[in-house]
Chain A
Amino acid sequence: MAKVFKRTYSYAFLIPAAIIYLLIFIFPTIMSFFFSLTRWNLTSWTFIGLDNFKMFFQEASLLIGFKNTLIYALVTCVLKVVLGLLLGVFLTSKIRAKGYLRSVIFFPTLLSTIAVGITFSMMMHPTQGLINTALAAIGIAGPDWLGDTRIALLSVALVDVWKGVGFATVIYIAGILSIPQEYYEALEMDGGGAFRKFWNIILPLSRPATNSVIILSFIGGLRSFDLVWAMTKGGPGFTTDLIASIIYKQYQGGYYGLATAGNVILFIVVTALALPLYSYLNRKEAEL
């Protein structure tokens, strides 16, 4: 029987997957550790030790990418969790326009990031942009959203939230709908109001949804590239450069070793932050 079993579920089924996945994803990942220690141009390389990494930590224009990436990931993640939860609660309550609201909030998830980026950079134009024209109409002088070095990164992060909050909301809706009705009934027997319903039932029991949203949006935020690239190209100066956009700039400049070192740094940042976060959240979940 074991022989039949082996023949039926033959590992031969894994061959196409193995070839593609190992060759195109795993192998380059392993090689990136080697190439990050070299100066190379796809055909020949010189071994230069840790010089690329030193460069990354000494150049202000490269180092800023770290800080920005962390800020960006944190801001987008927190906003998606908070707004996603609130919208999730609101859209699972007894309201008539539920279907419409869910669809509208979810729709931006399906849009092309480049299109969203271009549209918003037009709307954020300091003098002609829609946002500042609207603000001026009610007597507020709007800032230069993408030109002011202090807020440019946050402006991009807000657009990211606009685009991604629908996804977080959908995960929360799924999580809230899977809470058994008995809990609500028990609370009603006790005479608890809407706030207690949220605080004592929805918040603790939508924990798995919260964990999913945190992990997905945090990792997504750390790896973010296309929205920033479409909106600011890392500017003004380097104030909105993320690790991923720095990798692209180095690649464009032909600094393949440096770009690969950036990739390795991104790899380390993502695993060093995401894995502990993931296991911490899972432990918390198990305690429930």
Chain B
Amino acid sequence: MSRKIKGLGIEVIAILLTIVIFWIPFYFVIVNALKDKKESSLLNLAWPSTIHLWDNLKEVITARDYMLLRAFYNSTLLTVISITVLILVCAMAGFVMQRRNDRATPWLNFLVLSGLIIPPAIVPTIWVLNGIGLFKTLPGLVLVEVALGFPFGVLLYKGFMAGIPREVDEAAVVDGSSGLGLFYRIILPLLQPVTATIIVTSSVGIFNDFTNPLYFFPGAKNATVQLTLYNFQSQFVTQWNLLFMNILLITLPPLVLFIVFNKKIVAGMTAGSVKG
């Protein structure tokens, strides 16, 4: 009996700790996003005397000529296009790399693995993008996101491909299917679990990416949501309520994703990270 009580005590303490460590910061952002300028400058947890939800929302959205809306549009477009390209490119590469085994294989594996470790060379990448005329453009940023997400994606697809029996391929080839037909009609649908994993995890990663847009997508017209928040930091220096409202808005998409795909995200995050 006493052990039961002790166990319950530890649980209660754990829950209280999560409230202090995780819920209070969250509450802090929400409550201050609802205040007026003067009250939010106190940076406390008090409930607002009057709720300014709509005023703050309107002000944040209209700030700098609807910058935030453009940023949401850019970020959404970036995320969707990057993930689409990433999935096609990684699935095709994973398919061939897992099925073939020849002299090039160790080299290819080495190239892919090195991409997981090596920090990207930033200024030379800008130089390359500039050379092909894609610096400061969305397609250029998409290429960067795809190139950086490629190693992890390929490893996931390769790992999953190993579990698809070769007899499936052979049956299709005997039936007269070409390599491309085999891939699109049979393999790609079978790879769906990995595809779902990549969609969920990469969309959070790319939507929240700050460093790459900062370097490769500069300019006011080119804002992504993270850059907008970063720039608002200096602009709203005395209007913390608006800054908090902005934080709240850009936290919503990952929050919704989390509520819908909680298990999927966790499974995806751990995929390939633990052997055995």
Listed in ascending order, the chain A residues whose CB lies under 8 Å from chain B are: 4, 7-11, 13-14, 16-17, 20-21, 23-29, 31-32, 35, 42, 90, 94-97, 100-115, 118-120, 122-123, 125, 128-130, 133, 162, 167, 170-171, 174-175, 178, 208-209, 212, 216, 219, 222-223, 225-226, 229-230, 244, 247-248, 251, 256, 259-260, 263-264, 266-267, 270-271, 274-275
Contact = CB atoms under 8 A, between A and B. Distances in A.
A16 B128 CA distance: 17
B127 interface: yes
Nearest to B144: A24
B119 interface: yes
A39 to B, nearest CB: 12
Contacts of B250: 112, 115
Given A260-B121, A275-B117, 16 more contacts: A23-B147, A25-B148, A31-B128, A42-B130, A104-B18, A110-B255, A111-B208, A111-B254, A114-B230, A123-B28, A175-B274, A247-B122, A256-B123, A259-B122, A266-B119, A274-B117
B179 A9 contact: yes
Contacts of B178: 7-8
Nearest to B177: A8
A98 to B, nearest CB: 9
Interface in B238-258: 240, 243-244, 247, 250-251, 254-255, 257-258
A119 B28 contact: yes
B193 interface: no
A13 B96 contact: yes
A174 B268 CA distance: 11
Chain A at the B interface: SS class: helix
Contact of B128 (A14, A27, A106, A171): A27
A28 B127 contact: yes
A94 B11 CA distance: 10
A21 B115 contact: yes
B97 to A, nearest CB: 8
Contacts of B258: 107, 110
Contact of B115 (A25, A125, A223, A271): A25
Which secondary structure dominates where chain B touches chain A?
helix
B77 interface: no
Contacts of A16: 88-89, 92
27 contacts: A8-B173, A13-B179, A14-B96, A17-B90, A21-B111, A25-B150, A27-B124, A31-B124, A31-B127, A42-B127, A95-B7, A95-B10, A100-B18, A105-B18, A110-B257, A111-B254, A118-B247, A119-B247, A122-B28, A123-B43, A125-B43, A162-B21, A167-B269, A229-B210, A230-B233, A259-B123, A260-B122
Nearest to A16: B89
Contacts of A110: 204, 208, 254-255, 257-258, 265
Contact of B169 (A8, A24, A125): A8
Which 10 A-B pairs have CB atoms at the shortest separation, nearest pair first?
A32-B121, A28-B124, A24-B147, A17-B93, A8-B179, A28-B125, A25-B147, A13-B92, A110-B254, A13-B96
B192 interface: no
A130 B247 contact: no
Contact of A251 (B85, B148, B215): B215
A14 B93 contact: yes
B182 interface: yes
Contacts of A128: 42-44
A114 B122 contact: no
Interface of B: 7, 10-11, 14-15, 18, 21-25, 28-29, 42-45, 85, 88-90, 92-93, 95-97, 99-100, 104, 108, 111, 115, 117-130, 132, 143-144, 146-148, 150, 154, 169, 173, 178-179, 182-183, 204, 207-208, 210-211, 214-215, 225-226, 229-230, 233, 240, 243-244, 247, 250-251, 254-255, 257-258, 262, 265-266, 269-270, 273-276
A32 B127 CA distance: 10
B211 A225 contact: yes
Contacts of A109: 269
A28 B274 contact: no
Contact of A130 (B43, B173, B229): B43
B43 A129 contact: yes
Given A10-B96, A14-B96, A130 B44 contact: yes
B251 A111 contact: yes
A21 B121 contact: no
Contacts of A118: 229, 233, 243, 247
B120 A25 contact: yes
A72 to B, nearest CB: 14
A90 B140 CA distance: 45
Nearest to B201: A110
B89 A20 contact: yes
A275 B114 CA distance: 10
B262 A103 contact: yes
Given A112-B226, A118-B233, A119-B29, A267 B274 contact: no
